[in-house]
Amino acid sequence: MSPLHKIPFFDLHAQRQRLQPGLDQRIKGVLEHGAFIMGPEVAELELALAAYCGAQHCITCANGTDAITLVLMAHGIGPGDAVIVPAFTFAATAEAVAILGATPIFCDVDAESFNLSPTSLIEALALAKTHALTPRAVIPADLFGQPANYPEIEEIAHGANIVVIADAAQSFGATRDGRAVGTLAEITTTSFFPAKPFGCYGDGGAIFCDDEDIAMRLRSLRVHGKGTQKYDNVRVGMNSRLDTLQAAVLLSKLEVFGEEIVARNAIAECYTATLKANYQVPTVAANVGSVWAQYTLILDGPREPLVESLKKAGVPTAVYYPIPLSRQSAYAQFPSTVIDVSAYLSEHVLSLPMGPYLSQGHQDWVIEVLLQAE
Ligand SMILES: *Cc1c(COP(=O)(O)O)cnc(C)c1O
């Protein structure tokens, strides 16, 4: 078969059709009560998400980048401090560190999981010392929906007395050893950007933790550092609240999120079963439940000709991420360990159309085109 129309890389329309009219009702409710900032849906969502993952506290905020920034601020991280981040991730992971005047130190990732390599973390900690910086935190990013190796990372982090901040922008809903993302590290951030596995209709983010004191500080920091009285600011903060309308959208989407994760896994399994003889398919450890933010192949051959022939056949693809962060203009000044794996991956990865509403017909076509192109 051939597709009747272009296959969407990620399909938001099918989800919207499914969620109506409940979604419209939720949005209408906000328009009617008019509490657009910190309306009742925000607190309702925070309770629902904390319950969903089992964290004590959920603090929503304006986006996933702010979520990381707020956590660093809550820990008082700034100039003279080093924060270890993977070189193979979205810029936000390192940006939040640099914007506060702290120094991101880049480390390499694991070739199998695409996630932060614990051995490279040890090298990065040594690098902090040689730069006379105080290591304060490590931010593993759960790339493509698969949680990082938190048990090993945590052990190293405890030895170095640094905090583990899980950047779970791509992995909310995933599990490791039966535990949910949001509880795998002492503090976890996520993003509700529309294309993330759990996305809203604009920008949004959240932080999960069990520590009462940190949660209190985060709630203050996201509203200009407010004290118990609104116009008594006790610390320098940010304006970083989640819109009530976005909270309403997320509450509606939460109702089908579990089924969507099942659907994403079925699609990933179908890709793997049909492509593994011809392509290097992604691997997920047996103790991990991924939410498949992306389904990413590692190509042996040149990427561009394959991208072109897929495009001609109506199959969109994406490259996450084409340049390691430590080699980008804004970040090349910061220290980095050897990042051979990140460099290799950035030249060889290719992400395929993925989402809970990718139809069987469309997926069959993607597979057919890939097998013919090989
Ligand atoms: C999307 C993303 C972010 C940033 O989230 P925003 O909501 O867009 O600010 C941070 N880290 C990773 C790994 C991401 O994929």
* pTM above threshold 0.95: yes
**Residue 51 pLDDT greater than 80, yes or no:** yes
- Which residue CA neighbors atom 6 of ligand 1 most closely? 64
Report the pLDDT averaged over residues 18-25: 95
Span from the CA of 93 to the centroid of ligand 1 (angstroms): 7
Q: Which ligand 1 atom is at minimum distance from the Cα of 205?
A: 7
Span from the CA of 92 to the centroid of ligand 1 (angstroms): 6
Span from the CA of 372 to the centroid of ligand 1 (angstroms): 34
* Percent of the chain with pLDDT strictly greater than 70: 98
Span from the CA of 328 to the centroid of ligand 1 (angstroms): 17
**Residue 1 pLDDT greater than 80, yes or no:** no
**pLDDT (tens digit per residue) in 76-92:** 999 999 999 999 999 99
E strands, the chain, are 57-61, 81-86, 103-107, 134-138, 163-167, 175-176, 179-180, 187-191, 205-209, 288-289, 295-298, 349-352
**Residue 5 pLDDT greater than 70, yes or no:** no
Best residue for ligand 1 mutational test, from 172, 191, 201, 319 (most atoms within 8 Å of Cβ) = 191
Mean pLDDT of the chain: 96
| Spatial distance between the Cα atoms of 100 and 211, rounded to a whole number of angstroms | 22
* CA distances, 19 to each of 251, 253, 255, 366 (Å): 11, 7, 9, 26
By residue count, the chain amounts to: 374
Span from the CA of 65 to the centroid of ligand 1 (angstroms): 6
- Beta pairing, strands 187-191 & 175-176: unpaired
The counts of H helices and E strands in the chain are: 12, 12
Is-contact 335 106, C-beta < 8 A?
A: yes
DSSP helix/strand/coil, 31? helix
Span from the CA of 191 to the centroid of ligand 1 (angstroms): 6
Best residue for ligand 1 mutational test, from 115, 167, 188 (most atoms within 8 Å of Cβ) = 167
Tokens of 292: 């498949």
**pLDDT (tens digit per residue) in 32-46:** 999 999 999 999 999
* Percent of the chain with pLDDT strictly greater than 90: 95
pLDDT at 2: 55
pLDDT at 277: 97
| Spatial distance between the Cα atoms of 265 and 355, rounded to a whole number of angstroms | 9
**pLDDT (tens digit per residue) in 355-365:** 999 999 999 99
Span from the CA of 168 to the centroid of ligand 1 (angstroms): 8
Q: Which ligand 1 atom is at minimum distance from the Cα of 293?
A: 15
Q: Which ligand 1 atom is at minimum distance from the Cα of 143?
A: 13
- Ordered DSSP codes for 144-212: GG----HHHHHHHHHHHT-EEEEE-TTTTT-EETTEETTSSSSEEEEE--TTSSS--SS--EEEEES-H
**pLDDT (tens digit per residue) in 135-162:** 999 999 999 999 999 999 999 999 999 9
| Spatial distance between the Cα atoms of 247 and 187, rounded to a whole number of angstroms | 21
CB-defined site of ligand 1, < 6 Å: 63-65, 89-90, 92-93, 141, 167, 169-170, 191, 193, 203, 205
Report the pLDDT averaged over residues 255-284: 98
pLDDT at 356: 97
| Spatial distance between the Cα atoms of 189 and 291, rounded to a whole number of angstroms | 16
**pLDDT (tens digit per residue) in 70-129:** 999 999 999 999 999 999 999 999 999 999 999 999 999 999 999 999 999 999 999 999
Distant-in-sequence, close-in-space partners of 165: CB < 8 Å, separation ≥ 6: 68, 71, 72, 137, 138, 139, 185, 187, 188, 189
Tokens of 33: 């009560």
